[in-house]
Amino acid sequence: MRLFAFTALTLIYSAAFAGKWFLNVEGGMAIPGYNDVQVPNDSSGTRFSLSDALDIPSKAFFRINAGYETGRHTLSVFAAPLQFNAEGKLPEDILFAGESFSADETVEALYRFNSYRMRWRYLLSESENYLFKIGFSAKIRHAEIRLESSARTGSTKNTGFVPLLSFELRWLPAENLTVLLEGDALAAPMGRAEDVFLGVELPLSGKVDARAGYRIVEGGADVKSVYSFTMVNCISAGLNFRF
């Protein structure tokens, strides 16, 4: 949280300089893909597919990104809460987080992955009909997976820092039409994370653009305490405001 307090102060201080403030709001439908889990990641935990074991319904999502551009630099802060809930009967016996859940036992499941980021992007290249930015994203993620029945509850929680590469590619194939590919991603031996958007933007006015497209959120960790990899497909739309 100190990191985000520092970023907020930086953004306020930077208002004294020439720059363009912006606010991006995005929402849509988050559609669960695979959700493979094992807690802990050894013989005392069962590796299973949460999305296959239980029917996880799609859910509306919302995210917000605010910041400013000055010169070739873009700084922003970002928040994207995400949570899925499901209920049903397990198809097999499962050992999870020190608890034993029996086949055909009715359980409630929760999968939470809230992401907060500070981004910096640098305008590396541009021409009349394209631009490319590259940079870094400092991500704080709060994750929780929980299984709960009438008799027992198994849960794993984790809050941690993840550094990511950040990029933005814009192509203008025609007047008033922008194709946008942007996101944050990084892979390492102990896990990976990808949050990537592909879509189009159309101007609504001199200071407001509309966007629509597809977003993929994917990743997870393969460490001693937990094995968890998830993919979420998002049908997305949003508005970009410039001040």
Sign of CA dihedral 126, 135, 5, 83: positive
pLDDT at 2: 56
CA distance 144 to 91: 22
Amino acid identity of residue 25, one-letter, is V
Report pLDDT digits (tens) over 220-238: 999 999 999 999 999 999 9
* Residue 200, pLDDT score: 99
CB 31 within 8 A of CB 57: no
- What domain range is 124 assigned to? 2-242
CA–CA distances in Å: residue 66 to residues 22, 34, 47, 75, 210: 6, 30, 39, 8, 16
pLDDT tens digits, one per residue of 174-224: 999 999 999 999 999 999 999 999 999 999 999 999 999 999 999 999 999
Tokens of 219: 């990743």
- 3-class SS of residue 14: helix
Below-70 pLDDT ranges, the chain: 1-19
pTM listed for this prediction: 0.90
What is the DSSP code (8-state) at residue 226?
-
Sign of CA dihedral 204, 58, 78, 163: negative
Check residue 30 and give its pLDDT: 99
Count: domains in the chain:
1
**Per-residue confidence (pLDDT) for residue 6, from 0 to 100:** 53
Please report, for the domain that includes residue 97, its CATH number: 2.40.128.90
CA distance 33 to 55: 11
